[in-house]
Structure 1
């Protein structure tokens, strides 16, 4: 519940309008999309993956329909050995369960966040705010404001023609 409250505090502190809905418990992007669609919500859904590499964890935020390959992050994370975090590691590092990882709002300020630039090609962004029974929708331009303002390491990434480019969020306007 702490992460959920932190998300709402961030949104309110930055004056970001948001929509919130309750729905039956969801564990997958497809289930979330189903309920959001039934309520007439339009936008891109969030997929948030916690990776483990070299005794560190990294959160990768992308669109719900995209498949993320760990190999794209080998050079950036400084290792060839990258794996998905276990459910226990996800809970310990983020305070959340798999299927409810939000794109921001973590109390662990040392957790680096990598955000897919393709998200910003859509008008609205939808995500579970650390709770399986809730969804939040914000404008993607507001999501960028959040990433620029939070006190946490954030990088944007862009995948084009098989290459991945990384940019510090604070240097992107």
Structure 2
């Protein structure tokens, strides 16, 4: 799905968050360097796989959090979590590195990617999400996030994500 098509689909689902256009941002550090100030909760989006490449998850956490993948693997019972390759990212979520957000789950119609949300985000709102391109950010409310995941068939799992 293309970004424009995503925006139309969101509107169809009754989700109309504010859209902020900006220069390309590939990482959270890029946003820091550009001193882009936006209201809401900045996110780090990690596309992960198990040691065997059979299971995949999209983890959303605070932008400044250093996740302890070894401890998280142990906590959730997956064998050695690691970052999925750019090829896997394209195959499962239909986006390139630097364009990842929860909104990419719209491309996972086969439900092959689990959605994990850090419990630290439970009090957040207006989550920063790329709309399948890294030159814009949507401010997605928690209500709209839950509505979106319901429409895509992804049930978020709230986890206590360990940090390093």
Fold similarity call, TM over 0.5: yes
* More contact order relative to length (CA 8 Å, sep ≥ 6): 2
> Could you tell me how far 1:35 is from its partner in structure 2?
5.8
Q: Structure 1 residue 110 and structure 2 residue 137: aligned?
A: no
Q: Is the 8 A contact 1:124 1:137 kept in 2?
A: yes
Unaligned segments of structure 2, at least 5 residues: none
In the superposition, the TM-score normalised over structure 2's length comes to: 0.79
Tell me the C-alpha RMSD between the 2 structures: 2.5
Pick from 125, 128, 133: which aligns with 1:126?
Answer: 128
Q: Distance in 1 between matches of 2:28 and 2:47?
A: 15
Q: Deviations over 1:37-64 (max 9, x none)?
A: 1xxx211112111111032221111121
Residue of structure 1 equivalent to 2:46: 49
> Could you tell me how far 1:15 is from its partner in structure 2?
1.7
Q: Is the 8 A contact 2:26 2:98 kept in 1?
A: yes
Number of residue equivalences: 156
Unaligned segments of structure 1, at least 5 residues: 164-173
In the superposition, the TM-score normalised over structure 1's length comes to: 0.76
